[in-house]
Amino acid sequence: MSEQQPENNGPDDRDETSDLFERIVAEESDRDPDLAVIEAGSRTLRAQAGPPQGDPVSAHPLDPEVARALQEVEQELATRWGETKLEPSVTRIAALMDVLGEPQRAYPSIHVTGTNGKTSTARMIEALLNAFELRTGRYTSPHVQSVTERISLDGAPISAERFIETYYDIKPYVEMVDASEEFRLSFFEVLTGMAYAAFADAPVDAAVVEVGMGGTWDATNVIDGSVAVITPISLDHTDRLGATPGEIAQEKGGVIKQDATVILAQQPVDAAQVLLKKAVEVDATVAREGMEFGVVAREVAVGGQMLTLRGVGGEYDGIFLPLYGAHMAHNAAVALAAVEAFFGVGAEQSRELDLETVRRAFASMTSPGRMEVVRRSPTVVLDAAHNPAGAQVTAEAVTEAFGFSRLIGVMAASEGKDVKGVLEAFEPIFAEVVVTENSSHRAMSADELAAVAVEVFGPDRVQVEPRLDDALEAAITLAEEEAEYGGAGVLVTGSVITVGEARLLLKRG
């Protein structure tokens, strides 16, 4: 590491940007705290750009034998409690780790929680660590197209063969724990055990682990992350986590461990107070976005945006991020601070990370299903926003990055979500919305979603298509009608499942 870190530029070189950063900090501190979740002193222009090259999402195996074996594993996993049925405890996963020999202790970890931006931030952290030649494991959820995406090594989903092998390696131990506990291990708990085992077997130099839900009792929380990252907290899963950001922060703060470093994205005031109190209780060090680190400057560019980031160790300019939206810039700032903390920058050493390596890492970034362009003429954008705060930042990002003269929405959501809040966030930018449903057993029916959409948009701006493929076709047709040449667009949103299925349909033509 030390060979790749240049000497600091020194105080004199930083003076010219320090005033700008302090002004941004002041602006961020003065505004409505609820807006801190989605803004942060950003500077914007307008541009259009094409999709990134390559596809980072795991493909389904071509070998029929492997495909069949993977399907059998998925069917076995499906017999367990799904991700929405929880018994808040880490007892079962701790028992599994015990019989597996504590694989999660074989490597240092960065633990990522929050409401929105977790997966994108985790992918950025992973890209930075890879750029500094560390072997990484990344565990994220849910998946976009294939369950194998949830477990990644060195930036790529593990192969179907390795996924299958890992499952059968730990299956006897899973069954042992099942027999000794009141409830069987859940789908998510088994996958978590598989991830930790796969990382130890690789072996990895560092693991980047995204919580499934909450923090304290989440299955991932058998690790003691040396760095705890908390992305913006807003209202989601309120039936399980709490009715206010502060209550939700109580659960998410469970990832903050003794003597860890906490990288805190901008938060509502009540959430920040809870998290800072937790950090004090366990002697954790805190770096706050807008104070110790943040986005100094941001300018939309073709294919993404150009950034200047202030890390805990210094200034990083000329960073091209091929992702859209102010929220992605702030995710980048959080990810950079997390990696600095992981390497001890700002604590054991005062030197910043190598600038060219940081630039190379961010320039390679992808985030499937998050403001992802998958088609042109008309432009079709996929984004997995599924709560009002996520929908708000997506609406702002679409408005900023694309000059659409006519934008059609396609939305399918899961039961139990605040779909009215999501639709209200999109109403100002959608000319019309096509409501549909995905294939999940938790999908809200198209008719039920349509009833809410009519309340928000009125009957003349809502079209119902129960099949997703029909909804996509209808939206593309609506976008092309009455639109200026080249100015039409479609945004597919509502859930990760919806985006994943649309991605498959559109990429297959």
Strands 261-264 and 285-288 come out as parallel
The confidence band for 144, taking pLDDT boundaries of 50, 70 and 90, is confident
The H-or-E segment that residue 206 falls in is strand 206-210
The confidence band for 22, taking pLDDT boundaries of 50, 70 and 90, is low
Residue 63 has pLDDT above 80, yes or no: yes
Residue 380's beta-bridge partner residues?
375, 490
Q: What is the pLDDT of residue 239?
A: 53
Q: Identify the DSSP state of 147.
A: G
The H-or-E segment that residue 432 falls in is strand 432-435
Residue 34 has pLDDT above 60, yes or no: no
Q: What is the pLDDT of residue 55?
A: 57
Q: What is the pLDDT of residue 143?
A: 84
Q: Identify the DSSP state of 3.
A: G
Residue 49 has pLDDT above 60, yes or no: no
Residue pair 325/396 in contact by the 8 Å Cβ criterion: yes
Could you read off the pLDDT of 205-234 as tens digits, one per residue? 999 999 988 788 899 999 999 999 999 998
Type of residue at 211: V
The percent of residues in the chain predicted with pLDDT above 90, rounded, is 66
The confidence band for 308, taking pLDDT boundaries of 50, 70 and 90, is very high
Q: What is the pLDDT of residue 264?
A: 95
Model confidence, pTM:
0.82
Q: What is the pLDDT of residue 85?
A: 64
Mean pLDDT of 245-262: 91
Strands 109-113 and 227-230 come out as parallel
Residue 411 has pLDDT above 80, yes or no: yes
Q: What is the pLDDT of residue 352?
A: 86
Q: Which of 72-76, 155-159, 237-241 has the lowest mean pLDDT?
A: 237-241
Could you read off the pLDDT of 487-502 as tens digits, one per residue? 889 999 999 899 999 9
Residue 288 has pLDDT above 80, yes or no: yes
Q: What is the pLDDT of residue 377?
A: 82
The percent of residues in the chain predicted with pLDDT above 70, rounded, is 84
Residue pair 479/121 in contact by the 8 Å Cβ criterion: no
Could you read off the pLDDT of 429-461 as tens digits, one per residue? 999 999 999 988 889 999 999 999 999 999 999
Q: What is the pLDDT of residue 420?
A: 94
Residue 480 has pLDDT above 70, yes or no: yes
Q: What is the pLDDT of residue 195?
A: 97
DSSP 308-353: EEE-SS-EEEEEEE-S-SHHHHHHHHHHHHHHHHHTTBTTTB-PPP
Residue 2 has pLDDT above 80, yes or no: no
Q: What is the pLDDT of residue 50?
A: 32
State whether the Cα torsion 299-326-342-209 is positive or negative.
negative
* CA–CA dist 476, 489 (Å, integer): 8
Q: What is the pLDDT of residue 11?
A: 42
Specify the residue for token string 């009608």: 481
Residue 175 has pLDDT above 70, yes or no: yes
Q: Which of 89-103, 331-345, 392-406 has the lowest mean pLDDT?
A: 392-406
DSSP 249-280: HHHHGGG--TT-EEEE----HHHHHHHHHHHH
DSSP 394-431: HHHHHHHH---SEEEEEE--BTTS-HHHHHHHHTTT-S
Q: What is the pLDDT of residue 240?
A: 61
What does pLDDT average to over the chain?
A: 85
Residue 149 has pLDDT above 80, yes or no: yes
The confidence band for 1, taking pLDDT boundaries of 50, 70 and 90, is very low
Residue 139 has pLDDT above 90, yes or no: yes
The confidence band for 235, taking pLDDT boundaries of 50, 70 and 90, is low
Residue pair 311/293 in contact by the 8 Å Cβ criterion: yes
Residue 53 has pLDDT above 90, yes or no: no
Residue 468 has pLDDT above 60, yes or no: yes
The confidence band for 370, taking pLDDT boundaries of 50, 70 and 90, is confident
Residue 6 has pLDDT above 60, yes or no: no
The confidence band for 116, taking pLDDT boundaries of 50, 70 and 90, is confident
Question: How far from chain centre, in Å, is Cα 36?
Answer: 18
Residue 9 has pLDDT above 50, yes or no: no
Q: Identify the DSSP state of 33.
A: G
Could you read off the pLDDT of 354-366 as tens digits, one per residue? 999 999 999 999 8
Instruction: Say how many residues make up the chain.
Output: 509
Q: What is the pLDDT of residue 141?
A: 87
Mean pLDDT of 86-101: 91
Q: Looking at 132-228, list the stretches that DSSP marks H as alpha helix, in order from N- to C-terminal side.
A: 160-180, 187-201
Residue 56 has pLDDT above 50, yes or no: yes
